[in-house]
Amino acid sequence: MCGIVGFIGQKQAAPILLDGLSRLEYRGYDSAGIAVITPQGTIDLRKSEGRLKVLSDLVHGGADLNGCIGIGHTRWATHGVPNSINSHPHMSEGGKFAVIHNGIVENYVEIKEFLIRQGVHFQSETDTEVIAQLLEFYYNECHDFFETVGRVLRRITGAYALGILCADCPDRMIAVRKDTPLLLGFGEGENYIASDVTALIPYTRDVVYMDDGEMAVLTREGIQVYDPLQQPIEKEHHHIDWDVSAAEKGGYPHFMLKEIFEQPEALRRAISPRLKNGRVVFEDMKLTAEQIRAFTRIFIVACGSSYHVGMLGKYTLERMLRRNVEVQLASEFRYSDPIIDDRTLVIFISQSGETLDTMEALKEAKKRGAYVLSIVNVVGSSIARGSDDVLYTWAGPEIAVATTKAYSTQLAVIDMLALAFGEALGTVDEAEYAAVVSELQKLPEKMETVLAHHEDIQKFAAQHFNHNSIFFIGRNLDYALGLEGSLKLKEISYIHSEAYASGELKHGTISLIEEGTLVIALGTYSKLFEKAMSNVVEVKARGADVLALTTESRREEMLKTVPTVLAIPDTLDMLLPSLGVVPLQLFAYYVALQRGCDIDKPRNLAKSVTVE
Ligand code: M6R
């Protein structure tokens, strides 16, 4: 989605803005622009369609712009085609204001018509330009930057994170947030705004997350935040401990591959501090055993891969707690009139913590009285802050659009949550508890052995990257795993792919299997191995080319039917998806590589989906 960066300090702003924007490139965008206030008190604006490099070359890395206060933006088109006119920043007709905006101004048509009637001329097709024009319109009446922004906020409806420059006020910048993420970065004699903390990692670790309706005035010396009634407030500061290298490729050709290989380490970070003397200890969780026992309903709500983790979480939680757990897509949950009361627990899962569908579902759940626990990667994100309890996944920054290490750590956290809840409810026996803890501890090492075989998967991908359609089949845990494998493949390689619960094949889908169709058969789950095998036989009989994934102990058995078998180390059934997902991630990666796809920034997708 769109990216925002703003800087005020003693240094030249443009190179910092370009650098900050480059760290947000992974979010996806189609055009970019920057604006600075020059020492002469004018706004110098440069924009271009396409990659940030085009803009950077155009302004010679920022050397062409002279000014120590500025804003920058990468745009992902919503209103108006991607071109330099529609890209941000947008300026007011008289050149007094420049604005960058993430979100949507819902009533922009009405405001635009009003301003046109006042004689204002518009240049772009965007909703954002009305903000710039409206700012100048009100400023001409009151000549006060702060008051002007307040008036504009009272007039517009919708979702917005804004960075605003006023040519008459070169000593300050104003930032505003409503329903779209924005954070403030504190430096020495310089301050920042950004839509995502990764933009600021080289510059500051001291950040404040803005909340809805808040406004901030940034000067070189400091930042003052105001509440929705425009009263000054103090905000909690967060320290970001990700280092710069965590947000760089470190010798890997793509962030996705780097993040796949970082998974064992990410798992260690997520698991080790929470296992103490053989027990799961969530020091970061406020929920008491008594509260857990009082819940009568449990939901898991998420989108995309996080939803797939939710599906696996449901299997594990239901088995360990003997309670019904409902898992729902956030985009559906919001509108499903869910049956929720104050004895309901809703678990939200989100890497970014900013997914709009998930955030809106969270608001709905809270409105109805639920206790909200979230599993989130990005510290201080909207979902984290909106929850009663947060369990961070500590995966480190995930840059590639296709999630990998966030998925694995979410899974580990939900497995540990099942143990903790099982203990509180008295539904998990000691032997199983001890076995899960012991296997959780071995998981990172076992994952390393899976990764060590990446070349086998690369070879297989080299033989199969030309398929038009690929099927994943599996039962129960393997079905949920297949959904993730299929999503990974389609999002980065653009190959059509479907995941089916194997038992469903005979109810329709098997008609799609013909000579040479590639089927990836997942047969890791020990309880259903025999049934998985019979489904493999069925698709083979119809000419499918099968790649099977199973465990080491079943490799020989599988080889009797399927010539190409990938095996993962044995572990407890509930932990197998954590290992099984790795070959599927690698397969998607190597297939996309063979096909020459833009792996880290697949077409039409964004890392953090902050629109509905
Ligand atoms: O940040 P979130 O976990 O809330 O994101 C949810 C989905 O958008 C995300 O998992 C998406 O499906 C991934 N790109 C899949 O790789």
534 band by pLDDT with thresholds 50, 70 and 90:
confident
How many angstroms separate the alpha carbon of residue 303 from the centre of ligand 1?
Answer: 6
How many angstroms separate the alpha carbon of residue 200 from the centre of ligand 1?
Answer: 22
Query: Does residue 135 contact residue 92 with C-beta atoms inside 8 Å?
Result: yes
Please tell me the predicted confidence (pLDDT) of residue 28.
Answer: 64
Task: Give the model confidence (pLDDT) of 289-326 as tens digits.
Answer: 999 999 999 999 999 999 999 999 999 999 999 999 99
**Which residues touch 332 (CB under 8 Å, ≥6 apart)?**
none
Please tell me the predicted confidence (pLDDT) of residue 78.
Answer: 67
Which of 355, 408, 411, 490 is the best mutation target for the ligand 1 pocket, counting ligand atoms within 8 Å of the beta carbon and taking the most?
355
The whole-angstrom separation of Cα 284 and Cα 95 is 49
Please tell me the predicted confidence (pLDDT) of residue 246.
Answer: 67
531 band by pLDDT with thresholds 50, 70 and 90:
confident
The distance in angstroms from the start CA to the end CA of the chain is 12
* Residue from 48, 54, 12, 11 nearest 32 by CA: 48
Cα-flanking dihedrals φ and ψ of residue 154, to 5°? Answer: -75, -20
Evaluate: CB of 358 within 6 angstroms of ligand 1.
yes
The protein residue whose alpha carbon is closest to atom 12 in ligand 1 is: 304
**% of the chain surpassing 90 pLDDT:** 78
Question: Three-state SS for 182?
Answer: coil
How many angstroms separate the alpha carbon of residue 316 from the centre of ligand 1?
Answer: 21
**Residues recognised as catalytic:** 2, 607
Query: Does residue 496 contact residue 469 with C-beta atoms inside 8 Å?
Result: yes
The whole-angstrom separation of Cα 342 and Cα 348 is 16
Evaluate: CB of 401 within 6 angstroms of ligand 1.
yes
Which of 195, 260, 352, 585 is the best mutation target for the ligand 1 pocket, counting ligand atoms within 8 Å of the beta carbon and taking the most?
352
Please tell me the predicted confidence (pLDDT) of residue 545.
Answer: 93
The whole-angstrom separation of Cα 462 and Cα 448 is 22
> Burial level of 605, CB count in 10 A (0-12/13-18/19+)?
middle
Query: Does residue 33 contact residue 101 with C-beta atoms inside 8 Å?
Result: no
Q: How confident is the model over 371-378, as a mean pLDDT?
A: 95
Query: Does residue 198 contact residue 41 with C-beta atoms inside 8 Å?
Result: no
The whole-angstrom separation of Cα 166 and Cα 174 is 9
Evaluate: CB of 52 within 6 angstroms of ligand 1.
no
The whole-angstrom separation of Cα 290 and Cα 596 is 54
Half-sphere exposure of 230 (CA within 13 A, CB side): 11
How many angstroms separate the alpha carbon of residue 360 from the centre of ligand 1?
Answer: 15
The alpha carbon dihedral of 448, 453, 455, 461 has a sign of: negative
Evaluate: CB of 35 within 6 angstroms of ligand 1.
no
**% of the chain surpassing 70 pLDDT:** 98
Evaluate: CB of 403 within 6 angstroms of ligand 1.
yes
Token digits for 500?
């089916």
How many angstroms separate the alpha carbon of residue 314 from the centre of ligand 1?
Answer: 18
Q: How confident is the model over 363-368, as a mean pLDDT?
A: 96
449 band by pLDDT with thresholds 50, 70 and 90:
very high
Evaluate: CB of 584 within 6 angstroms of ligand 1.
no
Task: Give the model confidence (pLDDT) of 487-519 as tens digits.
Answer: 999 999 999 999 999 988 888 888 888 898 999
Half-sphere exposure of 358 (CA within 13 A, CB side): 35
Query: Does residue 333 contact residue 363 with C-beta atoms inside 8 Å?
Result: no
* Residue from 337, 350, 435 nearest 398 by CA: 350
Ligand 1 atom at minimum distance from 352 CA: 1
533 band by pLDDT with thresholds 50, 70 and 90:
confident
Cα-flanking dihedrals φ and ψ of residue 262, to 5°? Answer: -80, -5
Token digits for 454?
């990446």
249 band by pLDDT with thresholds 50, 70 and 90:
confident
Q: Assess whether pLDDT exceeds 70 at residue 244.
A: no
Please tell me the predicted confidence (pLDDT) of residue 371.
Answer: 98
Beta strands at 97-105 and 90-91: parallel, antiparallel or unpaired: antiparallel
How many angstroms separate the alpha carbon of residue 76 from the centre of ligand 1?
Answer: 17
Range scoring the smallest mean pLDDT among 72-81, 202-211, 315-324, 451-460: 72-81
Evaluate: CB of 305 within 6 angstroms of ligand 1.
yes
Residues pairing with 469 in the sheet: 496
Please tell me the predicted confidence (pLDDT) of residue 321.
Answer: 96
245 band by pLDDT with thresholds 50, 70 and 90:
low
Which of 334, 357, 359, 403 is the best mutation target for the ligand 1 pocket, counting ligand atoms within 8 Å of the beta carbon and taking the most?
403
Task: Give the model confidence (pLDDT) of 27-79 as tens digits.
Answer: 667 789 999 999 999 999 999 998 899 999 999 999 999 999 999 999 877 66
The whole-angstrom separation of Cα 593 and Cα 574 is 31
**What are the Cα distances from residue 189, in Å, to 3, 223, 255, 402?**
24, 11, 33, 37
How many angstroms separate the alpha carbon of residue 405 from the centre of ligand 1?
Answer: 12
**What are the Cα distances from residue 243, in Å, to 248, 263, 539, 567?**
9, 17, 48, 35
Q: Assess whether pLDDT exceeds 70 at residue 1.
A: no
Q: Assess whether pLDDT exceeds 80 at residue 423.
A: yes
Task: Give the model confidence (pLDDT) of 270-288 as tens digits.
Answer: 999 999 999 999 988 999 9
Query: Does residue 183 contact residue 174 with C-beta atoms inside 8 Å?
Result: no
Q: Assess whether pLDDT exceeds 70 at residue 263.
A: yes
Q: Long-range CB contacts (< 8 A, 24+ apart) of 187-191? A: 187/9, 189/9, 189/10, 189/220, 189/221, 190/7, 190/8, 190/9, 190/10, 190/11, 190/220, 191/7, 191/8, 191/9, 191/218, 191/219, 191/220, 191/222, 191/223
The whole-angstrom separation of Cα 290 and Cα 308 is 29
Query: Does residue 209 contact residue 238 with C-beta atoms inside 8 Å?
Result: yes
Please tell me the predicted confidence (pLDDT) of residue 84.
Answer: 85
Query: CA dihedral in degrees (197, 201, 207, 212; nearest 10)?
Result: -10
Neighbours of 68 (CB within 10 A): 21
Q: How far is CA 490 from the centre of its chain?
A: 17
Q: How confident is the model over 405-410, as a mean pLDDT?
A: 97
DSSP string over 448-498: HHHHHTHHHHHHHHHHHTT-SEEEEEE-THHHHHHHHHHHHHHHHH--EEE
Q: How confident is the model over 210-219, as a mean pLDDT?
A: 95
Query: CA dihedral in degrees (162, 163, 166, 169; nearest 10)?
Result: 130
418 vs 338 pLDDT, higher one: 418
The whole-angstrom separation of Cα 588 and Cα 490 is 8
Range scoring the smallest mean pLDDT among 25-39, 245-259, 262-276, 462-476: 245-259
Ligand 1 atom at minimum distance from 403 CA: 16
Query: CA dihedral in degrees (537, 542, 547, 548; nearest 10)?
Result: -20
Please tell me the predicted confidence (pLDDT) of residue 607.
Answer: 80
Evaluate: CB of 599 within 6 angstroms of ligand 1.
no
pLDDT, the chain, mean: 93
Token digits for 456?
């086998």
The whole-angstrom separation of Cα 289 and Cα 291 is 5
Please tell me the predicted confidence (pLDDT) of residue 302.
Answer: 98
Domains within the chain, CATH numbers bracketed: 3-241 (3.60.20.10), 247-451 (3.40.50.10490), 454-594 (3.40.50.10490)
484 vs 2 pLDDT, higher one: 484
Please tell me the predicted confidence (pLDDT) of residue 76.
Answer: 76
159 band by pLDDT with thresholds 50, 70 and 90:
confident
Evaluate: CB of 610 within 6 angstroms of ligand 1.
no
Evaluate: CB of 306 within 6 angstroms of ligand 1.
yes
